[in-house]
Amino acid sequence: MSIYRPKKSPSWHYDFVIKGLRFHGSTGTASKDAARQVEARMRVGVAEGRLQTKRLPTTINAAAERFFEEVAKHQPSHATTEYQLFNLVTRLGKNTSLSEITDNVIAEYVARRRSEVSDSSVNREVQLLRRVLRRAGRIWKADVGETPNWRELVLPEPAARVRELMADEEARLFAHLREDLHPLVTFCLTTGVRLMNGIRLTWAQVDEAAGSITFRVKSRRPGGDVHTLPLTRAVVVLLAEQRGNHPIYVFTYRCKRSCGQRRKGEVYPFSQGGWRRDWSRAIEAAGIDNFRFHDLRHTAATRVLRASGNLKVVQAMLGHSDIATTSRYAHVVTDDVRGAMEAAASRNSPKTAAVESATSLKRKA
């Protein structure tokens, strides 16, 4: 029996949970035996459906803090989630109750935010709000009010963007890129790994005997999922050239000027954003439009798909858990099929056949 007597209270209290719902309060008696009988009757009442507990009111600020501690804190994308939660709490009002977050409130939020950021960014924040409310209602048994019409609140987004680096663009990029950035960019362009997986790659992840590299990739699981990528001959050579530069990290840069604890001429691992200015300058100097570092991943995937014609191979290389995510690159196979069909149609058309026949006669004459 879950009964107890709080300090300075003459009465015993009950506190128990049935099917995820908490029931607690005073039994109204100073007798322990009588309190046990009251609790027993309460349990029977709950079982028969005669007693129900009220869901507790919860503010968006309290819910955001609890969600971060229980869920987001343990995910690789915790920094992004923390930023999104801050936006939600700030703009919805930290003292706003979850039950007050109606369709109208969310629609107004969406309208304000889409004037500040992209529609896809707004959608990510709305989807996060949905996760918070769902957990609050299902797990914490908080009062979340009426379920919003999420489908109507999501903004339409353009098709997934795939930007490929053309061969002439690649040549111009490397011509203007800092020399110590070449290995990192080449590695990402060859393997298709994400930026942070490349920058934070350590020698401990490289298994030359097994011919593979092991990464931690995005996932809702604590610590992320494990993704293993095979080493090609080109990557083996590239990695060998980086040996001896740093005892822990694979890719490094040489400091151009002393700053803080960093000294000019010394070699250091890349920081999260310290390289971006040189990257942007190279892109601009090379005259390459509408190209981001992440597009190196798209380029690697597109080239492998074009060479193999196998979407499953690309899925394995990129570490996608769902082939639907990889399907954004399916246009490569479609383009190749179209080209082959057009070549076949052209070769077998009456006009083409007549030209080939006339050419053959001229050669014989």
Q: What is the 3-state secondary structure (H, E, C) of 163-232?
A: CCCCHHHHHHHHHHCCHHHHHHHHHHHHHCCCHHHHHCCEHHHEECCCCEEEEEECCCCCCCEEEEEECC
For the stretch 286-308, what's the b/e string if a residue is b when 16 or more beta carbons lie within 10 angstroms of its beta carbon?
bebeebebebbbbbbbbbbbeee
Quote the pLDDT of residue 302.
92
CATH entry, 167-327, from 2.60.40.1510, 2.70.50.30, 3.40.1210.10, 1.10.443.10 = 1.10.443.10
pLDDT at residue number 219 = 59
% helix / strand / coil in the chain, to the nearest 5? Answer: 55, 10, 35
pLDDT for position 221: 60
Buried b (16+ CB within 10 A) or exposed e, 225-248: eebebebeeebeebbeebeebeee
Tens digit of each residue's pLDDT (9 = 90 or more) over 273-308: 778 889 999 999 999 999 999 999 999 999 999 888
Distance of CA 59 to the CA centre of its chain: 27
Q: What is the pLDDT of residues 124-145, one digit of tens each?
A: 999 999 999 999 988 888 888 8
Mean pLDDT for the stretch of residues 338-365: 62
- Residue 316: closest CA among 328, 305, 306: 305
Statement: residue 25 has pLDDT above 80: no
**Average pLDDT score over the chain:** 86
Q: What's the pTM? A: 0.62
Cβ contact 44:117 at 8 Å: no
pLDDT score, position 321: 85
Alpha-carbon gap, residue 15 to 120, rounded angstroms? 45
The per-residue pLDDT for 218 is 63
High-pLDDT (> 70) share of the chain, % = 89
pLDDT per residue as tens digits for the range 77-99: 788 899 999 999 999 999 999 99
Q: Is 60 exceeded by the pLDDT of residue 353?
A: no
CB 275 within 8 A of CB 296: no
Q: What is the pLDDT of residues 299-345, one digit of tens each?
A: 999 999 988 888 999 999 999 888 888 888 887 777 777 777 787 77
Taking residues 149-162, what's their average pLDDT?
A: 86
| Measured distance CA(194)–CA(132) in Å, rounded | 28
> Tokens in use for 31?
């007798």
- Weakest-pLDDT range from 28-37, 47-56, 294-303: 47-56
Residue with tokens 């600020």: 61
Under DSSP, the state recorded for 15 is: E
| Residue 232, pLDDT score | 94
Tell me the CATH number for domain 57-153.
1.10.150
Which element (helix H / strand E) includes 56? strand 56-57
Helix, strand or coil, per DSSP, at residue 263:
coil
pLDDT tens for residues 229-262? 999 999 999 999 999 999 999 999 888 777 777 7
Residue 349 has pLDDT above 70, yes or no: no
* Separation of alpha carbons 251 and 245, rounded Å: 8
Domains of the chain, by residue range, sit at: 3-53, 57-153, 167-327
* 16-25, 127-136, 160-169, 199-208, range with the lowest pLDDT: 16-25
**Best CA proximity match to 293, nearest among 302, 303, 282, 304:** 282
- Dist CA 21 CA 63 (whole Å): 18
